[in-house]
């Protein structure tokens, strides 16, 4: 791996005060919760983040996380490749009360410990972008009309698709 890896934890408030800019890759293997939704955990998440303080004196973290992942297509049950892209736009606050005061363009990032888990932050943002139901864009269930309807040279075998083939033949 030539690319630098991100720190696993960070003091977000300090990072904001320092205007830190971070970038790097997180191996999908390290993100167990996200990987739980995927066919495999090959590959990495590319992350870029900017910490800072805005003109209203609100500490923020902005950036994006991208990953190419494979989920199971719920139609054909084959892997489908998806490009995940999470936009990170968080206002750093100490508690729920402060979260309510945030301008609407920020999502609250409640920080009440000295250091925060950066991997967990990225993971949560990516999990939010997962589709409810993964599907190929042009998913064709092959056994329905395609492969199974081809003459196989084994026509004597009981084949539930013969009924379908006859049905199709009768229509013409």
Position 71 contacts Zn ion (CB under 5 A)? no
Residue 154 Cα distances to 148, 162, 165, angstroms: 11, 12, 14
| Beta carbon of residue 95, minimum distance to Zn ion (angstroms, whole number) | 44
One of 139, 149, 164, 165 touching Zn ion (CB under 5 A): 139
Closer residue to Zn ion in complex, CB, 78/87: 78
One of 30, 62, 70, 136 touching Zn ion (CB under 5 A): 136
Q: Could you give the string, one character per residue 74-93, with x where binding to Zn ion holds by CB under 5 A and - elsewhere?
A: -xx-----------------
| Beta carbon of residue 58, minimum distance to Zn ion (angstroms, whole number) | 44
Asked whether 51 and 61 are in contact (CB, 8 A), the reply is yes
How many CA atoms does the CB half-sphere of 34 hold within 13 Å?
Answer: 31
Find the angle CA(58)-CA(62)-CA(103) to the nearest 5 degrees.
40
| Beta carbon of residue 98, minimum distance to Zn ion (angstroms, whole number) | 45
Closest CA to 22 of 65, 72, 68: 65
Asked whether 5 and 24 are in contact (CB, 8 A), the reply is yes
Q: Which of residues 11-70 bind Zn ion (CB under 5 A)?
A: none
Q: Return residues touching Zn ion (CB under 5 A).
A: 73, 75-76, 136, 139
């Amino acid at each position: 791996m030539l690319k630098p890896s991100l720190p696993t934890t960070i003091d977000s408030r300090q990072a904001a005060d320092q205007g830190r800019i971070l970038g790097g890759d997180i191996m999908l293997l390290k993100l167990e919760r996200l990987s739980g939704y995927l066919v495999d955990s090959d590959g990495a998440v590319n992350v870029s983040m900017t910490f800072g303080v805005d003109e209203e004196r609100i500490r923020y973290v902005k950036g994006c996380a991208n990953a190419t992942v494979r989920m199971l297509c719920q139609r054909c049950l084959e892997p489908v490749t998806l490009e995940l892209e999470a936009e990170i736009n968080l206002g750093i606050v100490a508690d729920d009360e402060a979260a309510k005061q945030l301008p609407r363009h920020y999502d609250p990032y409640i920080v009440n410990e000295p250091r925060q888990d950066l991997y967990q932050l990225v993971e949560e943002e990516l999990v939010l972008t997962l589709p409810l139901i993964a599907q190929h864009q042009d998913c064709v269930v092959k056994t329905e009309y395609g492969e199974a309807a081809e003459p196989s040279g084994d026509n004597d075998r009981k084949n539930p698709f013969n009924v379908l083939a006859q049905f199709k033949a009768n229509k013409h």
